[in-house]
Amino acid sequence: MRECGRSMVEMLGVLAIIGVLSVGAIAGYSKAMMKYKLNKQAEQISQLLASIFTTISQNSYSVRPDGTRVAELFNKLKLLPDGMIYMNPTVVKDSMNDRIELYVRAGENNLFFIVNYYNKHSSTIDSCINIFEILKEYSYGNSTLDQVYLSSTANDYYFRKLCKNVNPCLSNMNTTDFYIACEKSYQAFADGKSGHFQQWAVFKI
């Protein structure tokens, strides 16, 4: 006599297959979302820096010597990239939820671009690598980029003007090099050996 329905073993097998497929789908979705956020971050930061340099070169507005409120200025001018959140006069937040400081010290012609990483999460390393990739583009014959370094347990420099006294030089580094540098600073921060993890870029304006 032919049995109707399915046995418990068969049902469990079906559920197991569904579970495996669901995990794969969720992992794929998470990976796609991370890629989207990183691409959005790169777009936001590139657009922001381009707006800053264009505005300064046009001399329509000055961010020196007393214009330390760079974020506030560009928020008022409605020049902040889509999706970038204004936090306070010197801080904005990007798509990766990283806080970016933008300021000019009184009497100096330097724009400080500082990414502050507060989250002890693996995505922090992805963001750090992404920022390095963005800044690398500025290192090719760009007269405005002056310094790039990570600040954690120590200040590790990866770019100075003309790459003097820097090893390795940012323009010669690849994604693997960026990962090693970011992971080192992140680990010191995550282990509590450092109270901060920051990525600095200094531009001459």
Q: How confident is the model at residue 16, as a pLDDT? A: 64
Q: How confident is the model at residue 202, as a pLDDT? A: 92
Q: How confident is the model at residue 160, as a pLDDT? A: 87
**Tokens at 18, concatenated:** 């569904």
Q: How confident is the model at residue 62, as a pLDDT? A: 57
For 9, other C-beta atoms within 10 Å of its C-beta total 8
Which backbone phi and psi does 56 adopt, to 5 degrees?
-65, -45
Cα angle value 90/175/146 (rounded, 5°): 45
Q: How confident is the model at residue 174, as a pLDDT? A: 94
For the CA atoms of 189, 165, 134, 60, the dihedral, rounded to the nearest 10 degrees, stands at: 110
Q: How confident is the model at residue 51, as a pLDDT? A: 86
Q: How confident is the model at residue 10, as a pLDDT? A: 66
For the CA atoms of 100, 101, 102, 104, the dihedral, rounded to the nearest 10 degrees, stands at: -160
CA distance 91 to 169: 28
Collect all residues with Cβ–Cβ distance below 8 Å to 127 and sequence separation of at least 6: 38, 41, 96, 98, 115, 117
pLDDT tens series, the chain, 205 aa: 455 555 776 666 666 677 666 666 565 677 888 899 999 999 999 999 888 888 776 655 555 545 567 888 888 888 899 999 999 998 999 999 999 998 887 677 788 999 999 888 878 999 999 999 999 988 876 678 889 999 887 788 899 887 877 878 888 899 999 999 999 999 999 888 888 899 999 998 7
